Structure 1
Amino acid sequence: MNTSIFGNTPLHRCDYLSSKYQCQISIKKEYFNPNQTAKDRAAWYMVKDAIAKKLIKPDDILVEASSGNTGIGIAYLAKQLGYRSCIFVTQNCSKEKLRSLENLGAKIVHCDNSNGLLDKNSTQYRAWSFAQMNRNSYYTDQYNNPENSRAHYETTGPEIWQQTSGKITHFFAGLGTTGTVSGIGKYLKEKDNGIKVLGIEPKGSILAPYKATGKVPTSDTVMEKIEGIGRKFVPGIFDTMAVDQILQVERSPTVQTALAYYQHTGMLTGFSSAAILAGLEDYCRNNTVDMRDHIVLLFADYGDRYLHSLYHSLTTKNSVYD
């Protein structure tokens, strides 16, 4: 298999955002990976690690709990390399992601939530339980598998550093498994500890208070629904030292920000990317940025996977296709 197809994604200056915030803003376009998602990197690292350690054999089942994108990456690799795949998703997984999983031959299991191993109705518990009961299966476990963050430490981080000629001052990424921000943040901090690393999550997620206090909140706050990011448990791979600040955003402003971005650029952002834009707005409103700053936003996937959720108001008018 040609593994060079993963990574080496472009980083382009966004004229609209740079003009709006009066600084240099670039987009790391992870949707240029084979399956149009940053999760291809983590999927490949986790699978190749399992192969190297002889944890899987041909025709075994690769199992993952996923909001969709990592599952797509796992299912793609399974199909390419002679394995099967079983992906556990929540009920709000987008129709477009489900269609991609089906086309890749994955078995799809719908679960009530994604609240971690302590909840028996969660994607994580049911994926783990399935792998425990089926000897010919392997749970890649993106929330606790260090290969997830290692993929970004060894590939995405160096790419961003090289593509900005080391002039990056701020980095924004969504917080889901936390593998992306943990790996990239660690790499960038080693290069220049002055780089500000910002994580974005929905209001009601627990990672911001956990980062601030070191304790998991006990209150059961309802979390805003922004597909792909937000947690009710702390992933084992989360490196709090790699992140300077976590910003929480609400769903409604996120949707409006995505629509405004489309109207100005003609580009459809993924849901987590739209959340990053909302977080950027909040950050620039409350902090001083100037033309010397170079902000990099990681867009994990493209908006065509969210036409029925994020862009429903546009699709009903057919304006997305104009």
Structure 2
Amino acid sequence: MTTTLIGNTPIRRCDFLSTLYCTNIFIKEEFHNLGMSAKDRPAFFMIQDAIERQRIQPGGTFVEASSGNTGLGITLIAKQLGYQAKIFVSKSCSQEKINTLLQAGAEIEICENSNGLHDFHSTQFHAQSYAATHPNAYFTNQYYNTQNIRAHYKTTGPEIWEQTAGKVTHFLSGVGTGGTISGVGRFLKEQRPDVCIWGVEPKGSILQHYLSHRRTPEKVVPFDAIEGIGRNFVPGSFDPQQVDHIFQVEQESTKAMARLYREKTGILSGFSSAALLASLACHREEMGFTPEHTVLLFFPDHGSRYVSKLYSDSADFQTATKTVIR
């Protein structure tokens, strides 16, 4: 497999955001990975680990519960190595992602939600059940697989440190499984203990509460639907020790910032990437950036996967897509 197509993604200084917030804002563009998302990193680590530990035999099926990106990474890598992929997605998954998964050769099953193993209707429950009842099937289980964190500790964190010449002062990432922020946060804090590791999640998600109180809220309410981030359970791949704060944003402000960013830059941001933009706009005073800061925004994927959800009302989205794909 050509592993050089995973990782070593570029960072780009965003002049629009840097000027707007009077600081130095860089974007880590993960859509340059093989499957056009950051999820290729843990997908490769989880598959490699399963094969090395002989948890699956040649020709077997890798199984995952995914909002689309991890599933695609697993499908592409598994196919190159001679394996199959069975991906369970929730009904909120964008049609663009489902089409891409099918084109890559994945077998798809659509479930009611992604609310964790305790919910019989969830992607996680169905994925675990499928792997347990079918021969030579392995559930990679990104929500509880330590390779999820390890992938970002071993690859993403060191890349960011090197690409910013050790000047990074703030790292912002959406929080879904928690693997990215936990792995990157652990590495960066080992290099620079005062670096700020900030997460972003939708309004109503429980991880902000868990980070502050180390317990889940007594009442769990539905959270704003921002594809790829937000949870009503605490994933095992979320390490709160590495995270300083989690900001919450609303779906509507996220959509508005996606469109504003496209208008100002000609670039389509993904849904969770737009949530980072919304966090900057909604929590500007709290963040307190100065001209000396170096802020790294982690854009995990690409806006072309959310045209129907974020940009379908615009006649110029095709032009913007051409701008962002290089």
TM-score category of the 2 structures, normalised to the smaller one:
over 0.9
Q: Which residue of 2 aligns with 1:301?
A: 301
Q: Where has structure 1 moved over 3 Å in runs of 4 or more? A: none
Q: Secondary structure at the match of 2:51?
A: helix
What TM-score, normalized to structure 1?
Answer: 0.98
Tell me how far apart the structure 2 counterparts of residues 253 and 287 of structure 1 sit (CA, whole Å): 17
The alpha carbon displacement at 1:135 in A equals: 2.1
Tell me how far apart the structure 1 counterparts of residues 101 and 299 of structure 2 sit (CA, whole Å): 21
Structural mapping, 1:15-94, within 5 Å: 15-94=15-94
Structure 1 residue runs without a partner (length 5+): none
The alpha carbon displacement at 1:57 in A equals: 1.4
Q: Secondary structure at the match of 1:248?
A: strand
Q: Which residue of 2 aligns with 1:115?
A: 115
Structural mapping, 1:73-222, within 5 Å: 73-222=73-222
What TM-score, normalized to structure 2?
Answer: 0.96
Tell me how far apart the structure 2 counterparts of residues 83 and 160 of structure 1 sit (CA, whole Å): 32
The AA in structure 2 aligned to 1:68 is: G
Structure 2 residue runs without a partner (length 5+): 320-326
The AA in structure 1 aligned to 2:317 is: V
The alpha carbon displacement at 1:56 in A equals: 1.2
Tell me how far apart the structure 2 counterparts of residues 285 and 221 of structure 1 sit (CA, whole Å): 27
Q: Which residue of 1 aligns with 2:324?
A: none
The AA in structure 2 aligned to 1:311 is: Y
Q: Residue 152 of structure 2 contacts residue 184 of structure 2 at CA under 8 Å; is this kept in 1?
A: yes
The AA in structure 2 aligned to 1:285 is: E
The alpha carbon displacement at 1:193 in A equals: 1.0
The alpha carbon displacement at 1:284 in A equals: 1.9
The alpha carbon displacement at 1:281 in A equals: 1.9
Q: Which residue of 1 aligns with 2:292?
A: 292
Q: What RMSD over aligned residues (CA atoms) do the two structures have, in Å?
A: 0.8
92-101 vs 277-286, which deviates more? 277-286
Tell me how far apart the structure 2 counterparts of residues 10 and 287 of structure 1 sit (CA, whole Å): 25
The alpha carbon displacement at 1:24 in A equals: 0.3
Tell me how far apart the structure 2 counterparts of residues 263 and 276 of structure 1 sit (CA, whole Å): 17
Query: How big is each residue's C-alpha offset from its partner over 1:254-277, in whole Å with a ceiling of 9 and x where there is no partner?
Result: 000000000000000000000011
The alpha carbon displacement at 1:59 in A equals: 1.4
- Percent identical across equivalent pairs? 49
Q: Secondary structure at the match of 1:64?
A: strand
Q: Residue 206 of structure 2 contacts residue 220 of structure 2 at CA under 8 Å; is this kept in 1?
A: no
Tell me how far apart the structure 2 counterparts of residues 71 and 182 of structure 1 sit (CA, whole Å): 20
Q: Which residue of 1 aligns with 2:322?
A: none
The alpha carbon displacement at 1:286 in A equals: 2.4
